Amino acid sequence: MAWTEDDVNTTSGYPEVQATLSQEEYIGFGVYLVITGVFGGVGNTLVVVMFVVDKQLTSSVDLLLLNLAIADVAMCGCCFPFVSASTFAQVSWRERSLKSECFNE
């Protein structure tokens, strides 16, 4: 794909790709994110509970798995709801962050 002058962002110098999705695709992607977030949060919370209940899981591999489970719970709790909401609202985080940066100046 050849880039034209109109495709290049003047501030960064990199080409910008504008992806447009239909309303059904936005809803489908939002539902996928909600389901992934719920199952990921519940599953990793069960892993953390397993480590709390079973005190014998103290090897370095076990602690690595506990660390990954805690990080995944944090991602599912902090990131998935906001990304899902912006997907249902059909607004990208990039557009929203640019609007808030302009508003704060």
- The per-residue pLDDT for 11 is 58
Residue span of the structural domain in which 60 resides: 51-88
- The per-residue pLDDT for 73 is 95
Residue 74 has which token pair?
């944090």
Mean pLDDT rounded to a whole number for the chain: 80
Q: Give a yes or no: residue 43 inside a domain.
A: no
Inform me whether the pLDDT recorded for 84 exceeds 70. yes
Q: Give a yes or no: residue 22 inside a domain.
A: no
Q: Give a yes or no: residue 57 inside a domain.
A: yes
Q: Give a yes or no: residue 68 inside a domain.
A: yes
Is the pTM of the predicted complex or chain greater than 0.85?
no
Q: Give a yes or no: residue 61 inside a domain.
A: yes
pLDDT digits (tens, 9 = 90+) for 22-59: 888 888 888 999 999 999 999 999 999 999 999 999 99
Q: Give a yes or no: residue 40 inside a domain.
A: no
Burial class (CB in 10 A: 0-12, 13-18, 19+), 18: exposed
Q: Give a yes or no: residue 79 inside a domain.
A: yes
- The per-residue pLDDT for 45 is 97
Determine the Cα–Cα distance for residues 76 and 41; give it in Å rounded to an integer.
5
Q: Give a yes or no: residue 74 inside a domain.
A: yes
Structural domain total, the chain: 1
Return the higher-pLDDT residue of 61 and 80: 61
Range in 9-13, 18-22, 35-39 with the lowest mean pLDDT: 9-13
